[in-house]
Structures are given as C-alpha cells and as structure tokens.
Amino acid sequence: MARVAFVGLGNMGLPMAINLAKAGHELHVYDTVSEALANAKAEGMHPAASAAEAAAGAEFIITMLPNGSIALKVFGEIVPAADKGAVIIDCSTIDVGSAREAHRMAGDAGLMPLDAPVSGGTSGAAAGTLTFMVGGSKAAFDKALPLLNVMGGKVVHCGDGGAGQAAKICNNMLLGISMIGACEAFALADKLGLSAQAAFDVISTSSGSCWSVNTYCPVPGVGPKSPADNGYKPGFAAELMTKDLGLSQQAAEEVHQATPMGAHALALYRQFLDNNGSGRDFSAMIEYLRSIQRDQA
C-alpha cells in the first residue's frame, strides 16, 4: 500500500480519494476549503496544512483542481516539496499548454509526471468507474496504473505529456457538437408532428445513432434513463461542457486547426448559460433551442 497525497477534494476529488483510502492506501490530503478537509478526515484520511505538506514523503501525488492556472500554482507549491521519483498525476481538466508546462516543472525536478483527465462524472468518481486518459512516460504510466485502476474502470495511455488532455478535449468537443445535433433533431421532429418515441426508435437504430441519442437522450421518457428524466439535473453540467469546449477552441487556435462546429457549439453553450442554463445538465440545450426563434441561433 502506498502513501498518496491528494490535493483538491471537490465534487470529483473527494470520492476518488475515498476509493483510494478504502483500497488501503494512506491518504494525506489538502484543499483550500476546510469543510472538504473535514469530510476527508471523517473518511480516515490525514488532513495537511498545505499542498506541500501533503506531498512531502508521498510516493504518489494526485491533483484534481478547477483549471490550468490553479493547477500550475499548486504544482509550484508541491514540486519543490515532493520526493524525487514520486509520480505526480494531474487529473484536472486543463488546457494542453498548461499540462505541458506542468510536465516540464515536475520533470525538471526529477518527478514522474502524468496528465490524467477523466470522464464519467461524479457518479463515476464515486463508483470507481472513471475513464482515465493519460499522457506521460510509459514508466510513469506503469507505476500509476494500479492506483488509476482503483479509481477507474478504463485507463488509456494516450501518448506523451499533454496527450491525455488532448484526448479529453477532442472527445468532449465531439460530444458537445453531437448533443446539440441530437437536441435539434428531436426539437424539429416534435414540430413536424413526430413523437419522441418514433424519432428515438428510428434514429437510435439508424445512421444518426450516437451516444447523445442512444445513451443520454435529451428528451424525457424515451431511451435509457438520463438527466432529461430527472428535470435536467446534472449529470454533466452545462458549465463543464462550456469549459471543455473553450479548452478545445483554445487548443485549436494554438495549432491553427479549423473547428467551426466546435466554435459554434461553444457560442451556443455560452448563450444557453446566459439564458437559464446554469446549473442544468448540458442536454437541457434542447429547452433553450425550443425557446428561441429560428434566426436567433
């Protein structure tokens, strides 16, 4: 069993840390919010006074933070305090540039860095079924694999530093686009007098089938249970989709790749957030599309 530092005990980080503690690892944890530390303590973890204190002496250091600038700030505190050879795994979803900078900082200090963003949301974090998309050396990946397997159901080594973040934002850009497409199709079907059930039965078994229709249908009452059946309570909040679409646009600009559908998806999610979308699942986009005039989008 390993000594593990875990920094960032929010909606995702706390359940991930709990799974590691339950598996018998010794968890030294830090968050800027004292309530998060109290929750971790109640689960048998050791709260630290700072990120650096949590990291000192740890074999593995895991961070689960809101964005790239915070992740780099925390790396600035942790890296000088960490033992040489420690594996440092950033599971936050951040921009590819910051992920590569984090790799450089940790690598220069003799640590073994990985970027390992996840998909699967808070329910996947609690169930230990997250998908990890991992960038970094094979040696660091092999060392981290047993820990990642405790928190995840699938772990994919995507390539060098930053490759995990790249995989995550490409997938989520496609998801954002395909969810808007699904919402448009069901909203139009409705206006054309087609029942949602008939639209689902056809699309889910035809060339329009996709995860956004087959697994996470944005219309209540059809297909497997989804946030649409629960008043669009997230699920995957529209804010998080907007964040990931923003990261994919930032990356596309940096490498000069045209992603016009991704850009339009980001614009639509921003409009949705400005119009009662905040705090709702990203599939509630269908309600926004139903509420606006044809020439407004």
- How many angstroms separate the CA atoms of 156 and 138, rounded? 11
Smallest distance, ligand NAD to C-beta of residue 122, A: 5
159 binds ligand NAD (CB under 6 A): no
Judged by CB, which is closer to ligand NAD: 34, or 207?
34
What are the C-alpha distances in Å from 226 to residues 29, 151, 229, 284? 33, 23, 6, 11
47 binds ligand NAD (CB under 6 A): no
Smallest distance, ligand NAD to C-beta of residue 246, A: 11
Catalytic residues: 168
72 binds ligand NAD (CB under 6 A): no
What are the C-alpha distances in Å from 277 to residues 2, 99, 100, 160? 42, 29, 32, 36
- How many angstroms separate the CA atoms of 107 and 135, rounded? 13
- Among positions 93-122, residues that touch ligand NAD (CB under 6 A) are 93, 118-119, 121-122
Judged by CB, which is closer to ligand NAD: 31, or 115?
31
Which one of 62, 64, 196, 203 is in contact with ligand NAD (CB under 6 A)?
64
7 binds ligand NAD (CB under 6 A): yes
150 binds ligand NAD (CB under 6 A): no
Residues 6+ apart with CB under 8 A from 225: none
Is 159 within 8 Å of 235 (Cβ atoms)?
no
- How many angstroms separate the CA atoms of 272 and 182, rounded? 16
Smallest distance, ligand NAD to C-beta of residue 208, A: 26
Smallest distance, ligand NAD to C-beta of residue 205, A: 29
The residue number whose beta carbon is nearest to ligand NAD equals: 10
Helix (H, G, I), strand (E, B) or coil at 72: helix
Report residue 258 as tokens: 């045209």
- How many angstroms separate the CA atoms of 112 and 114, rounded? 7
Residues that bind ligand NAD (CB under 6 A): 7-13, 30-33, 36, 51, 64-66, 70, 73-74, 92-93, 118-119, 121-122, 236, 240, 243
